[in-house]
Amino acid sequence: MDCGRDRMRMDRLSVLPDDLILKILSFVGLKDAIRTSVLSSRWRFIWTSVPHLSFSSDDFSTMDKFSDSVTHVLSRRNNQLPLSSFSLCFRGKDDGGVAQTIMNRVFSLNVQQLNVTCLFGDFTSCVFDNYTGFPLSLSWYQNHKHIRVSIGSGYVYIIPTPTRPFSSLTTLNLYTVTLYDGFLSMCPNLKNLNLNRCNMLGSGVFKLFRICHPGLSNLTFTSRNFTGLVVHVVTPQLKYLSISELFSKIQISAPELVSLRFKGRCPRMFVTSDFPALEEAHLAIYFISSLAAPRIITLLQKFHNVKVLSLSMDIIELLNSSVELISRQPSPFANLKSLKILPFWGSKSKKVIMSVEVKNYLLNSSPNATLTEVLSE
């Protein structure tokens, strides 16, 4: 009786159009999708057109079996239909270069969105510039629009091929990847860039990170805690910028910027152009030396059009001790609607009372702006 019910259910599914069946199979997992091939001749090859593929080495006892499975699926896939997304997760130890073999094949696919996660304990597949690393050739990415590469241990090198730019790439997310200076010039249509704990090599300087792109609109940058890191951001079309961790110097040229978020220790230098379009500024700057007062005040003066402003309690404390400096400056925030005070780093109990002079400096030009103290970030 149960077999009869299952057959009736399957008959109902069989009358659905292929695109709806493929959408259903995308949610049940690849193994179960492949198992449907034995149901009837109607189902035999449907799984080969599934638009979303996902593989993880956790599902296999050895890397060789993982590789065989990926190769088997890709060799039988219906390449007449587009592959919307492909996710690949490596975990463990790879001594035989299996990951390289798999990625050589995967990166040649015409896939819209590519996600690669590597959680290897040791990378031994390539030695480049005295660093042990796993090389990814740019030529593999020609047709992808969205790429996400995450590395849990070791280095991955993005190796440039100057004669073949990525004209299709619009979104790039990289985690613990080592790039080369000039890499972004290979991505003329890139709009969204997320660099998390990445490095850049080039020009003989390891701690200089240059992000220069004429069309980039959204940038998130988190460093690897290098105290001597120098970051240059030159992006004339950038709208949203989020930057955090430890830096020696930050230089920003982004005249179209709408939102700026910074979190971390106070850099020794914070050099920026004006921000005529800036509407939101979030400065969670901590551990500020009294010597930093002139550059912090200079930075605030460039936020004259900001509507929503968030400042750490550390900045308020600095301004309290710099009344003489701010008394020489007019209140810069003529369009301010909301001022939020963020807590001290790691201390919810420590409080600072904002002096009258500081309050006037921040709010005099916008007396109707709301003042809020945020209890936790």
Q: Is the pLDDT of residue 133 over 80?
A: no
Q: Is the pLDDT of residue 267 over 50?
A: yes
In whole angstroms, what is the distance from residue 306 CA to residue 329 CA? 17
Which of 94-120 are b and which e, b meaning 16 or more Cβ less than 10 Å from the residue's Cβ?
beeebbeebbeebbebebbbbbbbbeb
Task: Report pLDDT digits (tens) over 141-195.
Answer: 455 667 776 655 444 455 444 455 667 788 888 887 777 777 788 788 899 999 9
In the sheet that holds 230-234, the strands lie side by side as 208-212, 230-234, 249-253, 269-272
Please give the residue that has the higher pLDDT: either 227 or 185. 185
3-class DSSP state of 288: coil
Q: Is the pLDDT of residue 328 over 90?
A: no
Q: Is the pLDDT of residue 199 over 90?
A: no
Nearest in space to 260 (alpha carbons), one of 205, 294, 288, 299: 299
Q: What is the pTM of this model?
A: 0.77
Per-residue tokens: 88 = 């690949």
Are 341 and 374 in contact by the 8 Å Cβ rule? The answer is yes
